[in-house]
């Protein structure tokens, strides 16, 4: 039994290594009504075994093996299936040719080897993406209508805006956008979600902060953002690989000046369709202010209650 429990422990360890941190679990569904009737096993399954104990034991072994082999392959361990099956069977039956300490030593070496190979794979991917990105940006800068800035950011005006206001780095902007990799694969889009996004311009990637400040309300630009102004060598797994050059189409819809609850002059007012996160300034945070989440309906009521600002000279 101790050997069997160790196998289960190894399976659990592999499972922990395979987990993706930050992945949220799906919410539990509605509770099912309890029933006293045991589930029935088809006769054709029972016919394969001599007893219930044999059936249950075999099924447990099959399920553990399926889970372990799947995780082993996913993690990149190189081991033939027949060797895994032999090690499992001999360990459970007390005939293993290595001890627990020896197994742990081998497994530690395996982990180090997989880690090394993963690092090599990542470095190769970074080098590939760096080369492709540099070649793309060099060729793209020569295309008609493309403007290359000193920072490495490039843009092309797709539609000129009718407004005159431009956002500052600490303003909040409302935008529609679509982001793609160089191969055209879309990794994010407010158009797909069906509503524009609203966020502080100083809390996004550097390419956005620099580029959107050049836009006027109502304009739509295409940006070509080198990795250094995007997500760098870390990328943003699983959608954005390390050192990826990104392309964005951005449509500037509205501007909200820092500390102001109304759109800046020249901005196009938009109906509020989602909750707003109100982030206090550093000075306010130092005084004990808290981050607030304001519901769309409540925000509209507050806006209607605000008195109109007097015209200039009055």
How much is the pTM?
0.58
Summarize pLDDT for 45-84 with one digit per residue, the tens: 888 989 989 988 888 888 888 888 788 777 778 778 888 8
Q: Which of 248, 250, 253, 255 is catalytic?
A: 248
Residue-level pLDDT at 264: 43
- Residue whose pair of structure tokens reads 């507050």 in the numeric block: 302
Contacts of 141 (CB under 8 A, 6+ apart): 148, 154
Q: Determine whether 231 is an active site residue.
A: yes
Q: What is the pLDDT of residue 293?
A: 52
pLDDT value, residue 30: 56
Task: Verify whether residue 170 is a known catalytic residue.
Answer: no
Q: Which domains does the chain have, with CATH numbers?
A: 145-270 (3.10.50.40), 274-305 (no CATH)
User: What's the pLDDT band for 300 if we cut at 50, 70, 90?
Assistant: low
155 included as an active-site residue = no
- Partners of 198 in the β-ladder: 174
Between residues 175 and 290, the one the model is more confident about: 175
Residue burial 272-303, b: 16+ Cβ < 10 Å; e: rest: beeebeeeeeeeeeeeeeeeeeeeeeebeeee
| Mean pLDDT value across the chain | 79
Strand partners, 24: none
For residue 190, give the 3-state DSSP assignment. Answer: helix
Residues 129-141, mean pLDDT to the nearest whole number: 96
Taking residues 229-252, report their average pLDDT: 93
What is the 8-class DSSP label of residue 236? Answer: B
**How does pLDDT run across 245-294, given as a tens digit for each residue?**
999 999 999 999 877 655 443 444 444 444 454 555 555 555 665 555 55
Spatial distance between the Cα atoms of 117 and 306, rounded to a whole number of angstroms: 61
Give the closest residue to 125 by CA, choosing from 77, 74, 181.
Answer: 181
Q: Catalytic: which of 155, 231, 250, 253?
A: 231
Contact 225, 248 (CB under 8 A): yes
CA–CA distances in Å: residue 197 to residues 176, 194, 229, 279: 6, 10, 20, 16
Residue 302 has which token pair?
Answer: 């507050």
Catalytic residue from among 177, 223, 224, 243: 177
The verdict on whether 58 is a catalytic residue reads no
Residue 130 has pLDDT above 80, yes or no: yes
Residue 212, CB-side half-sphere exposure with 13 Å CA sphere:
32
Which residues make Cβ contacts (< 8 Å) with residue 113, sequence separation at least 6? Answer: none
In this prediction, residue 35 carries a pLDDT of 61
Active site residue 187: yes
Contact 136, 182 (CB under 8 A): yes
**pLDDT, position 142:** 96
Question: Is 248 marked active-site?
Answer: yes
How confident is the model over 287-297, as pLDDT tens digits?
665 555 555 55
């Amino acid at each position: 039994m101790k050997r069997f429990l160790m196998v289960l422990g190894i399976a659990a360890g592999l499972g922990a290594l395979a987990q993706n941190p930050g992945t949220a679990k799906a919410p539990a569904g509605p509770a099912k009504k309890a029933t006293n009737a045991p589930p029935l096993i088809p006769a054709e399954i029972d016919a394969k075994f001599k007893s219930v104990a044999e059936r249950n034991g075999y099924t447990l072994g099959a399920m553990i093996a399926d889970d372990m082999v799947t995780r082993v392959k996913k993690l990149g361990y190189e081991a033939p299936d027949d060797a895994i099956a032999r090690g499992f069977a001999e360990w459970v039956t007390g005939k293993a040719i290595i001890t627990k300490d020896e197994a742990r030593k081998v497994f530690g070496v395996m982990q180090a080897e997989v880690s090394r190979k993963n690092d090599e794979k990542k470095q190769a991917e970074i080098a590939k993406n760096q080369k492709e990105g540099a070649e793309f940006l060099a060729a793209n800068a020569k295309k008609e209508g493309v403007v290359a800035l000193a920072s490495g950011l490039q843009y092309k005006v797709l539609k000129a805006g009718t407004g005159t206001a431009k956002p500052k780095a600490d303003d909040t902007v409302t935008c529609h956008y679509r982001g793609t990799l160089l191969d055209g694969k879309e990794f994010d889009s407010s158009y797909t979600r069906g509503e524009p996004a609203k966020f502080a311009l100083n809390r996004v990637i550097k390419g956005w902060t620099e580029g959107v400040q050049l836009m006027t309300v109502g304009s739509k630009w295409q940006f070509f953002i080198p990795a250094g102004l995007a997500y760098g060598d870390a990328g943003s797994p699983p959608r954005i690989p390390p050192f990826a050059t990104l392309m964005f189409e951005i449509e500037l819809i509205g501007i909200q000046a820092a500390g102001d609850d109304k759109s800046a002059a020249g901005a196009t007012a938009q109906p509020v369709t989602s909750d707003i996160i109100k982030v206090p300034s550093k000075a306010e945070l130092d005084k004990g202010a808290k981050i607030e989440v304001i519901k769309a309906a409540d925000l509209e009521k507050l806006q209607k209650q605000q008195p109109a600002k007097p015209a200039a000279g009055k």
